[in-house]
Amino acid sequence: MTTLDLISFEPATGAELWRGTAGDVDAAIERARRAWPEWAAKPLATRVELVRRFANEVRKYHDALAELIARETGKPLWEARTEVESVVAKVDISVSAYAERTGQKKFDSALQGTAAVRHKPHGVLVVLGPYNFPAHLPNGHIVPALIAGNTVVFKPSEKTPAVGEFLVKCLHDAGVPPDVAQCLQGGIAEGQALVGHRDIDGVLFTGSAQAGIAINKRLATNPGKIVALEMGGNNPIVVVDTPKITDAATLVIQSAFTSAGQRCTAARRLIVKASMYDALVSEVKALADRIIFAEPFADPAPFMGPVIDNQSADQLSESFLYLLSNGGKAIKHMMRPDGALPFLSPGIIDVTGMKDRPDVELFGPLLQVIKVDDLDQAIAEANDTRFGLSASLIGGAPQDYNRFWANVRAGIVNWNRPTSGASSKAPFGGIGLSGNHRPSAFYAADYCAYPVASTEMDQPRATIGAGFRDERRKTPRVGDT
């Protein structure tokens, strides 16, 4: 494979941030394969100690990593700082999760010895990371995988290579051997080569549904390789009866426009009861009009930065125009103040009257509004998608939430909370085009090791039951030979 120059640009300024070349996939996998037996044989306590040292390294470079994340993704500095804090917190959470989800168990079977359940690592795992949380989300795969005894080859998004490189350097500085955790830079070709490599034991992926489906197809005929897919969503936030209009509108804004809408759990569809429509939508628009979107280090601090690049900004602008020209009614026009940079103002559009609304993940600050008559219609609208990651109900009584929870199709279901910001102490994942029933976060331990059942005795002991001739008998029976 020929080397390829890779360049990362700051979305907010267009300035070059990082330059490098694509890595050698075969060489990286070979090193990981050679390193695996020794790493897997280390005591669990040793692996845990090393990832704890990694957390300390990240703490040491908190400000530098936060600044790098802000520059490479365009997200506000305050949000980049919360991402670094999530990286650190993930270590203790992963240690607890490994003990709870994959701990050893033994059962006394008396004369049959002892029955035991232990877990083994898979081997060499490929981690493919996204650009929206270039440290936190791949870290959510890497740390559980290392704790379990796997070696990791991590390919960051080609849009955020610098953060990926920094993250793995912290692992190495903490004492994790270089061949145990590797950062392999590259684009689509390197990602495909990693997924299709015969010497890997699994792929842990976070990204778009399109890429996740391609990975699933590539490995569908090889059930021996673990595949964990964490994909996006066309997430609904449903608002029914509530007197707290401002609070409801704030939750909508947080769900739709945090991270410039570049979260897999971001609300893409606001489904609102007709009796609440005028008051709520008016308040949502008023709040959206006040949103500051600017470069990450601006003063006052912005709520939103740019989207990741000009291509994404172009696609989102075109999507807004498509909805507008096919029956949508603009509530707040999406604006792009500088065509050379990917800054977008929040866009809000009513698509209630639009036929054949596209069921796609519009990954940016674009919110579609749908008016309904009651909760049952709202649930039907919420489920009118092939995705199933996150859903929230705002307002209503406990029995309304019970009905919503029971009937809405999503892996994350919230009440009077945003669609985004799920707890790392809980499973994180969805159904349909949002995932393949291998949730991450606290449940990442489940796909980083596999259970092994054993029955054990310290000495061999066995007896023969029915079906054998008694050697003490002298008179043969019919059938004896």
> Are residues 111 and 12 both part of a single domain?
yes
The amino acid at 322: Y
Among 168, 166, 161, smallest CA distance to 145 is for: 168
Rounded to whole angstroms, the Cα distance separating 46 from 312 reads: 43
Q: What is the pLDDT of residue 465?
A: 80
Q: Is the model's pLDDT at 463 over the cut of 90?
A: no
- The reply to whether 143 and 166 lie within a common domain is yes
CA distances from 229 to 136, 203, 433, 437, 444 (A): 16, 8, 9, 8, 11
Q: Are 215 and 227 in contact (CB under 8 A)?
A: yes
Domain interval for residue 224:
5-231+435-456
Whether residue 37 is found in the same domain as residue 167: yes
Degrees, nearest 5: CA angle 128-132-134? 50
Name 372's bridge partners: 273
- Residue 411: CATH number of its domain: 3.40.309.10
Binning the chain into helix, strand and coil, the percentages to the nearest 5 are: 40, 20, 40
One domain for residues 221 and 241: no
How many other C-beta atoms are found inside a 10 Å radius of the C-beta of residue 144? 32
Domain count, the chain: 2
pLDDT at position 108, please? 79
| Residue indicated by tokens 């029956």 | 327
The neighbouring-strand residues paired with 330 are 349
* Residue 452 located in a structural domain: yes
- Assess if residue 196 is contained within a domain: yes
pLDDT tens string 171-190: 999 999 999 999 999 999 99
Confidence of residue 157 (pLDDT cuts 50, 70, 90): very high
Contact indicator for 172, 181 with CB cutoff of 8 Å = yes
pLDDT above 60 for 285: yes
Residue 479 has pLDDT above 90, yes or no: no
> Across the beta sheet with 114-121, what order do the strands follow?
105-108, 114-121, 449-456
pLDDT of residue 113: 83
Model pLDDT, residue 470: 76
Place of tokens 């950062």: 183
| Mean confidence (pLDDT) of the chain | 95
pTM of the shown model: 0.94
Structure tokens given for 226: 């673990």
What pLDDT is attached to residue 299? 97
Catalytic pick among 57, 190, 230, 381: 230
Sign of CA dihedral 375, 381, 385, 389: negative
Query: Residue 429 pairs with which residues in a beta bridge?
Result: none
**Is residue 472 assigned to a domain?**
no
**Residue 249, Cβ neighbours under 10 Å: how many?**
23
Concerning whether 448 is annotated as a catalytic residue, the answer is: no
What pLDDT band is residue 2 in, cutting at 50, 70 and 90? very low
Token look-up 């500051």 returns: 292
Residue 111: other Cβ atoms inside 10 A:
7
Query: How many Cα atoms are found within 13 Å in the side-chain-facing hemisphere of 395?
Result: 24
Question: d(Cα 237, Cα 268) in Å, to the nearest integer?
Answer: 8
- Model confidence at 226, pLDDT cuts 50, 70, 90, reads very high
Residue 430 lies in a domain: no
pLDDT, position 110: 64
Residue at 264 is within a domain: yes
Please provide the DSSP assignment of 340-404 as one string: TS-----EEEE-TT-SS-------SSEEEEEEESSHHHHHHHHT-SS--SEEEEES--HHHHHHH
Domain ends where: 422, 448, 468?
422
Among 370, 399, 422, give the residue marking a domain's end: 422
Count other Cβ atoms within 10 Å, centred on residue 292: 11
Return the minimum-mean-pLDDT range out of 33-42, 382-391, 448-457: 448-457
Same domain, 144 and 189: yes
The answer to the question of residue 193 being in a domain is: yes
Q: Which of 264, 283, 295, 361 is catalytic?
A: 264
Residue 272, strand partner residues: 239, 371
Mean predicted confidence (pLDDT) in 223-239: 97
Count of residues making up the chain: 481
Write down the pLDDT at residue 475: 58
Whole-number pLDDT of residue 1: 37
For residue range 354-412, list pLDDT tens digits in order.
999 999 999 999 999 999 999 999 999 999 999 999 999 999 999 999 999 999 999 99
**Taken in order 160, 162, 163, 169, is the CA torsion positive or negative?**
positive
Domain CATH number, residue 176: 3.40.605.10
Cα 240 to Cα 3, 230, 244, 245, 286, distances in angstroms: 55, 30, 11, 10, 19
Q: What is the pLDDT, as a whole number, of residue 474? A: 59
Distance between CA atoms of 94 and 447, rounded to whole angstroms? 12
Looking at the fold, whether 168 and 309 belong to one and the same domain comes out as no
**Distance, CA of 124 to CA of 138 (rounded, Å):** 15
pLDDT beyond 60 at 481: no
Residue 78: inside a domain, yes or no? Answer: yes
Check residue 433 and report its DSSP letter: G
Q: Do both 152 and 175 map to the same domain?
A: yes
Point out which residues pair with 152 in neighbouring strands.
125, 181
Same domain, 193 and 247: no
Q: Looking at residues 433-439, what average pLDDT do you find?
A: 96
Question: 360 and 269 share a domain?
Answer: yes
Mean pLDDT of 457-467: 84
Q: How many percent of the chain have pLDDT more than 70?
A: 96
Region 121-125: mean pLDDT is: 98
Closest among 234, 233, 232, 245 to 272, alpha carbons compared: 245
Contact 331, 369 (CB under 8 A): yes
Q: Do residues 167 and 78 both lie within one domain?
A: yes
What per-residue confidence (pLDDT) applies to 424? 84
Looking at the structure, tell me whether residues 80 and 217 fall in a common domain. Answer: yes
Respond yes or no on whether the N-terminal peptide bond of residue 296 is cis (omega within 30° of 0). no
| Residues 332/346, Cβ–Cβ less than 8 Å | yes
Question: Alpha-carbon distance 401 to 74, whole Å?
Answer: 36
Whether residue 468 lies inside any domain: the answer is no
One domain, residues 330 and 402: yes
| Cα–Cα distance measured from residue 409 to residue 407, given in angstroms and rounded to the nearest whole number | 6
